[in-house]
Amino acid sequence: MEVVNEVLPSRKETFEFLMQEGPEGPIYMVNLLKFKASAEYEDGRQTDLSGREAYNIYAKAVSKIILNYGGKVLFAADVTGLSLGQVEDLWDEVAIAQYPNRRAMVEMSSSAEWREAAVHRTAGLVGQLNIETTGLGLI
């Protein structure tokens, strides 16, 4: 199994998937995050921030923005180890966000306020996996 972390979708199939209606009811996006050692802003600004610190600026903003789209951040925690399976390079953090549906997630991540915050996301991330899930969100 090949795993490729991305900062933004790069495949046509991903865009097509996101434009489909999606499952009925809420979705839960599982985010597996890998941070840069040092933040690197695309506009070339100088910073002493780590990748995690830059991403946390984004995360703080998104935790408010997501509310405008009927969503919420449910969980965020550091990855401390791998107890089953094998992966070449472990992610740094796991976050789970709930949205009323896929459309709400796409609308949020297309908004001007999200794009403004996302400069910190791009500066801080090596890449990530986003996994869409459905269900009650509870065991």
Per-residue pLDDT tens over the stretch 4-18: 555 555 556 654 655
Place of tokens 């990748």: 51
**Alpha carbon of 136 to those of 66, 68, 77, 129, 139: distances in Å?**
19, 21, 21, 21, 8
Place of tokens 């199939």: 13
SS3 119: helix
> Rg of the Cα trace of the chain?
15
Q: DSSP character for 136?
A: -
Domains and their CATH numbers in the chain? 25-134 (3.30.70.100)
Q: Can you give the pTM of this predicted structure?
A: 0.83
Judging by DSSP bridges, how do beta strands 93-99 and 125-134 pair with one another?
A: unpaired
| End-to-end Cα, the chain, rounded Å | 27
What distance separates the 2 farthest-apart alpha carbons in the chain? 45
pLDDT at residue 26, rounded to an integer: 93
CA distance 13 to 9: 9
Number of neighbours of residue 75 by Cβ within 10 angstroms: 13
Please write the tens of the pLDDT for every residue from 39-63. 999 999 999 999 999 999 999 999 9
Inter-residue contact 65 to 114 (CB < 8 Å): yes
- Asked whether residue 69 carries a pLDDT value surpassing 90, the answer given is yes
Average pLDDT rounded to a whole number, residues 102-107: 91
